[in-house]
Amino acid sequence: MIRLSVSRATCRRGACCCIGASREERTTRGAGACRELELALRARCSIRIARCRPLSGKRAWLDTNGRARVVLHLDGEEASDFLNFVLKDDATNTWYDNNGTNFKVELRADASPSAPKLDQLPKDLCDKWAWVRWDFVGRPQRSAEAAASEYDRGVSEMKELLARGRVLDELWRVAEGKWKYSDYRKKVVTPTIGDGTAPLSAQPQAQQPAGAPAAAALPAIPEDLLGVQAYILVINDQLAAGSSLEEVAGRLNYTLKQPTPPASTRGTPAGSRAGSATSSLDGGAAAAPARPSGPPPQVGAPLGTPKRNPLDMIKRTAPNLSAERSVVERPLDFLVQRFAVDPATKWRRTFPLGGKAEMLVVVRQEAENKPIRVDLVTDTASDVVLHWGVSPIGSREWVMPDDGVLPEGSMVMHKAVETPFLNCDDDECDVEISGAKVPLQRITINLPADHHLGALLFVLRSSDNTMWYKDAGGNFTVPLPSKDKPVEDTRSMDVIKDELSRTIIEAEVNSSMWTLMHRFNKAADLVSEVLNGYYDQLDVADAMSRIYVWLRYSATRHLTWQRNYNTQPRILSAAQERLTNTIANAHGRTTGEAQEWVRMMLTTVGRGGDGQKIRDEILHIMHRNHIPERKGLWMEEWHQKLHNNTTPDDVPICEAYLAFLEGNGNIGAYWRVLSDAGITRQRLEGFDRAITLEPEYYPEKRDALIRDFRNYLGILKAVHSGADLSASASAAGNRIPGSCRGYLGYVLSHVGDSQILPLLEACVEARTELALSGTLPGSRELLYLDLALEDQARQAAERGVGAAGFGAAAFMRPLLQNLCLSLGNNEELCYCLKAWNELPQSVRTGGRPNKEEALLAVAVVNRVRRALADISDRTVNRIGDVSSAYGRAFGVEHWAYELFAEEVIRGGPAFAVSLVITAIEPMLRNAAALGAWQVISPIAATGRVEVVAGLHEVQDKTYDTPTVLIAEQVTGEEEIPEGCVAVITPDAPDVLSHVSVRARNMRVLFATCHDDGPLKQLREAKGKWLHFTPSASGAVSWNETTAEAAGAADDSSHSTVSKPTKGLKIEVPNWCGRWVVGMDEYKDGVVGAKSKNLAGLRGRLPDNINLPASVTLPFGCFEQALELKENQDIKTKLKKHVDEVHKHSKHHADHTTSNGTGPSPAALLAECRKLAMQVVVPKQIRDDLAQAMKGAGIPPPETEERWALALEALRGVWASKYNDRAYYSLRKAGLDFDSVRMAVLVQRVVPAQYAFVIHTRNPSNNDEREVFCELVKGLGESLVSGMVPGSAVAFKAAKDEAGLGSPEVLCYASKSEAMYVRDSLIFRSDSNGEDLEGYAGAGLYESITMDPSLLKKVDYMEDRLVQDPAYRRDLLSRICRLGASIEGALGTAQDIEGVVAPDGAITVVQTRPQV
């Protein structure tokens, strides 16, 4: 029997008791629910109870002592854990509960109300609890150790509340903001468990009086001891009273464990956290070590994150700045457009004046000997005056102009002229906006042609002297054309001759007074002007990247922060705030790569804010701690610098001083922190208010100074350090989405944690929630928070990857997601992330993958690596030359601008992904039985090493000595240059691509190396002679040799490489007299080998293999078409260009150089292709083609428009006779490119799910017993042409029955895209120069679809080919059997192309003898 007693004092007349039972959950209750609760209780618990009626009067409800009582009888084993109830006063309709929840009574002895252990509390709840507590105390600046300690205190608080009967649902309500923590603390926490777990603030505390004993630090309380509910509030009291931890544990019948650091599921170093839940944030007399040590980084357990579709993260929207600009019509727009097209305009610029007013300055000169006219026009409503002067060429010294150039009304002042603006009544100033005329003001200054001046300098002022208008705080500068202007400095490269770059360099180099304030104001102006279209010679991404380069040079201290001008903190912070708000606005108005560069600008400047606090608080600290303001003290020197010109340097100076204090006056710690931040003694002494002294140590003030300067560091970071995590989170405040706060709370409490994976996941998921909220674009505070989280993720990855080994694979998912969030154009990375997520768990978690799993992972890693290379290339292409040119113009040290682009890449989120790839790829390749090398053409070779960016750059070159090319890029469609004996590349062209086939045919070593180590050694061997030997195991070794030894060795192996191929000759066939022939007429001398081989396969293939219907335009049709009258002019021009190319070929054959500076062969061939595309196709060709296609069952084009597309494709195949790679290949073989006659095979495009190429003799090892195949999604052009980078699915099989039934997958596809085309026609080259015996002409000429092919992103990992092993085995087996069948039918090894339709049907589209 359980008795529930209610004292008379709380049970008023008319009070009612609502009772319910629950099993670890709170019972729902309400004013009308009594009967339902009673019935539910009866059904579950067999409780006999009277009706839920009022507890009133002198009835049976009163016991002998006059107390109201309810007696509940429970029969049998109780099924519920707790009895929940509330009270209601019917007289007042008032409900009474237990501080916002039910009264709760335990019903079963085994129903333990003790709080769950830390690892049983939901991680998300712990994280959100940390956030609401931090928010409750005003989001103070905390050290990592203090934040970790506060996290533990919050967890202990929840445990104590649960132990006192509070329910988990209630804590969730608080954590999710449904119940304010401040109200909950006042109403529940303090009455229930007191203030022992109150969040600690980092605000300055009253200094302890000198001599007062320090409070003794309490020992750390083990987590499981805290779980003993009956004594949870007594433990700290007993410890504080002097009891030892052992004595307290004995009273609680608890056995202490051996003194080892307590384990935390968070993995936070024990030494970095407070000893107990009540430890002081900054207390303790022991000095902190100079470099705190903790457990080594570990992978850690996953945080548990929601499943997301990575494709939902793709950023697809394109910028539409023009639409935004069209909304606002500006008065000066008409003049801007007019002067933009005026050929006399030498320079023009529109300057913002504030209040939406602008000023247009135009410099015009009709000819070099004509006078110069400078017009200044403004739409400001105020009367303004031009305060101006001029400067000599090469100087920015302000000097007086000659009297003869002064406009009417000018007044000469001291070293300046003042000229009032006059109303402009000319027709060119007649401007209307929305039907209303806008008055304009103008000044015109006329200068003689021989003026000898460099620039016009000026500022504006209002006529009443109340307002001055400047350009970013300095003079407006207008460059003037001059005959005697010095030659432009060679440092000004073409890449920075745009107006934006000239403006930046002009301001930076030629301003006599220049500070961060001026730079920030100027940058804000330029960002706004870019958005408004003032620099239309650059696209927005280009312009924004240039401004970023400039600001990054500033942030890294390569530009002056102060020159001849002092800036008070409040003025600097105002400039920072203006710039950062402008950048945030630009972020909201841009997308794609432009938005990416805009976002990166925020990393170069602090957010600004209340800069006055910097001046005020340093004084307060000095006064509060009785530190005098007098010379000879370090703090006074720093105070003077802060007072006159605070800069971002002050953040590391403060951090250095804190390290000094925490190290008990350790001056080494002070200098170490400064050194880490790049601040030298010389830099300190070079400030306008120099810091020449070292800090003084005040032992008695140590703790108070630490507290004060910890708070002051937060003030400095709020102004100068935009991407500081704590400052960013505090500034973002309530803008942070609720779904983000739990993850953010975790990050804030785990900065620097040794458990890397959960910290990474929390950072990235917080960023993801910010992005998905839709509030990130244009929000300055959220952008800074996003950048801070990105930086934390990068730091965590860099700490953890090195120690994780293959376990670093677990970091790949969050790091890829992190990169997707940062990129403006992120589609490919989103597909990479999707592919990674579809890999087996053994790969994703860093386990032990088997061979098949490792092969899949290698394919995804190759795709990711290629995406990273694209990011790197895009960055270098965008800012590489610009940063070098800016650096030279700014006078930056050589190393700084040479490494600029590389440092940007290394500091970005892509670098962390590359670290993971470096860590896991060797192990994956080993598990997949793949070495560091893939040998495509296994030939021994000796030559001199040359390093090139891409093989395409040197395909037309002839090397006089045997040369080994280390080519960074090989697409697959290049020609191997003459004299090249080996090509080594980190790229991965398909084994059956055109360049691979030609390498084997030419007996050139061709190999891919996947290991940076050997590649680095080979690059460093540039200019040396090396001998390469491919091994039977698929590796490549080399040794250094000499030119003499190489020559002797090369006589036997490579003497033919640089000489024409002997015995080769192209027979020139005559036109057969027919424009189109069918398959029955495919004969020698009429059509090429492609057509003949297809005809030869009829009736010789298995019934389940299809052959496409075909017709062919025979040899000579192109040349015959040129004989038409309408093509005579084209024929004449073609012959002229061909003769010029022949001259180059003759000089090449004679080893002589051509005279003159005429066009190169490549330029001449390009003109030939243009002419071929203009050839008029005879009407008879169209008619015959239509008739032949109908006869073959091929639907001809339906409309004139589609016939035009068909004939354009035909001309494109004819024009490919003049391809560069074909010319160089034929020249190398001693063949005349003009002897080629182009037959054109016409087929219907077979709908393709997959396309494949088969070589019935394994080209990797020349094994005739094996068939080798490659397969891709979509059209085969993505495989053979090299247009789509990445590897195909490669497989092989022995030609016996067992082998053909079980093909071996050698690698999976890493291609990012596939090619598709609508139901269409394809026109295939079928020339007489493609299949000469001993000559690999495949791929030299074009095959063109009538309709343009489209590239689409694909994910091979989700394809049935990967996901269904039985389907894969069946399909690959059918393809291998097909190759063996065709080889058997034709009698020789074959190079076969085919497709697999969506229904699984296989069609052979062409075959040729394998070379």
In the predicted model, is pLDDT for residue 46 greater than 80? Answer: no
Number of C-beta neighbours around residue 268 at 10 A:
25
As a whole number of angstroms, the distance between CA 733 and CA 782 comes to 9
CA neighbor of 243 nearest in space, from 219, 277, 278, 276: 219
Chain-centre distance of CA 113, in angstroms?
48
CA neighbor of 1115 nearest in space, from 1243, 1015, 1217, 1205: 1217
The pLDDT assigned to 493 comes to 47
In the predicted model, is pLDDT for residue 4 greater than 50? Answer: no
In the predicted model, is pLDDT for residue 39 greater than 50? Answer: no
1031 or 658, higher pLDDT: 658
Per the residue annotation, which of 994, 1010, 1144, 1255 is the catalytic one? 994
User: Are the C-beta atoms of residues 698 and 688 closer than 8 Å to each other?
Assistant: no
153 or 198, higher pLDDT: 153
Q: Give phi and psi for 69, each to the nearest 5.
A: -145, 140
In the predicted model, is pLDDT for residue 868 greater than 60? Answer: yes
Query: DSSP H helical segments within 214-261, as ranges?
Result: 223-226, 235-240, 245-251
Quick one: pLDDT band at residue 215, thresholds 50, 70, 90? Answer: very low
In the predicted model, is pLDDT for residue 1001 greater than 50? Answer: yes
CA neighbor of 1011 nearest in space, from 931, 938, 914: 931
474 or 239, higher pLDDT: 474
Q: Which two tokens stand for residue 916?
A: 């993971």
Percent of the chain with pLDDT over 90: 40
Location of structure tokens 């710690």:
669
User: Are the C-beta atoms of residues 954 and 948 closer than 8 Å to each other?
Assistant: yes
As a whole number of angstroms, the distance between CA 945 and CA 984 comes to 10
381 or 1334, higher pLDDT: 381
The pLDDT assigned to 444 comes to 93
994 is catalytic: yes
The pLDDT assigned to 328 comes to 58
The pLDDT assigned to 1012 comes to 83
In the predicted model, is pLDDT for residue 1039 greater than 70? Answer: yes
The pLDDT assigned to 988 comes to 74
In the predicted model, is pLDDT for residue 1 greater than 90? Answer: no
In the predicted model, is pLDDT for residue 1153 greater than 90? Answer: no
The pLDDT assigned to 246 comes to 55
Most confident range, picked from 291-305, 327-341, 801-815, 1324-1338? 801-815
User: Are the C-beta atoms of residues 646 and 722 closer than 8 Å to each other?
Assistant: no
In the predicted model, is pLDDT for residue 230 greater than 80? Answer: no
Q: What is the DSSP letter of 725?
A: H
Name the strand (E) or helix (H) holding 1402. strand 1402-1409
Quick one: pLDDT band at residue 257, thresholds 50, 70, 90? Answer: very low
Q: Which two tokens stand for residue 890?
A: 């700014």
Give DSSP secondary structure letters for 59-99: STTB-TTS-BEEEEEE-SS---SEEEEEEEETTTTEEE-BT
Q: 47 to each of 2, 18, 39, 41, 107, how far by Cα in Å?
A: 11, 14, 10, 7, 12
Q: Which two tokens stand for residue 502?
A: 């000239």
As a whole number of angstroms, the distance between CA 153 and CA 161 comes to 12
The pLDDT assigned to 8 comes to 33
Most confident range, picked from 430-444, 764-778, 932-946? 764-778
| Dihedral sign (CA 24, 28, 32, 37) | negative
Quick one: pLDDT band at residue 1226, thresholds 50, 70, 90? Answer: confident
Contacts of 88 (CB under 8 A, 6+ apart): 15, 16, 17, 18, 31, 94, 95, 96
694 or 95, higher pLDDT: 694
Q: Give phi and psi for 457, each to the nearest 5.
A: -115, 140
Q: Tell me: the pLDDT tens digits for 626-648? A: 998 888 899 999 998 888 778 88
629 or 1396, higher pLDDT: 1396
In the predicted model, is pLDDT for residue 600 greater than 80? Answer: yes
User: Are the C-beta atoms of residues 6 and 63 closer than 8 Å to each other?
Assistant: no
Q: Tell me: the pLDDT tens digits for 166-204? A: 888 889 889 888 888 988 988 888 888 887 777 766 444
Where residue 418 falls (left for φ over 0; alpha for ψ -120 to 50; beta otherwise) is beta
State the number of CA atoms in the 13 A half-sphere of 1137 facing the CB.
22
Location of structure tokens 């799910």:
1249
726 or 1313, higher pLDDT: 1313
The pLDDT assigned to 1064 comes to 72
Q: 1388 to each of 245, 1261, 1372, 1392, 1411, how far by Cα in Å?
A: 88, 17, 22, 12, 10
Calculate the average pLDDT of the chain.
80
Quick one: pLDDT band at residue 235, thresholds 50, 70, 90? Answer: very low
- 92-96, 836-840, 1193-1197: least confident range: 92-96
As a whole number of angstroms, the distance between CA 776 and CA 786 comes to 8
- 193-207, 217-231, 1043-1057, 1167-1181: least confident range: 217-231
Quick one: pLDDT band at residue 242, thresholds 50, 70, 90? Answer: low
Report the chain's terminal Cα–Cα distance, integer Å.
96
Most confident range, picked from 294-303, 406-415, 766-775, 798-807? 766-775
- 160-164, 992-996, 1250-1254: least confident range: 992-996
Residue 1327 three-state SS: strand
Number of C-beta neighbours around residue 803 at 10 A:
15
Buried b (16+ CB within 10 A) or exposed e, 374-385: bbbbbbbebebb
In the predicted model, is pLDDT for residue 50 greater than 60? Answer: no
User: Are the C-beta atoms of residues 659 and 674 closer than 8 Å to each other?
Assistant: no
Contacts of 775 (CB under 8 A, 6+ apart): 735, 737, 782
Quick one: pLDDT band at residue 659, thresholds 50, 70, 90? Answer: very high
Contacts of 1308 (CB under 8 A, 6+ apart): 855, 856, 858, 859, 1287, 1289, 1356, 1362
Residue type at 1162 in one-letter notation: A
Q: What is the DSSP letter of 11?
A: -
| Total count of residues recorded for the chain | 1411
Residue 443 three-state SS: strand
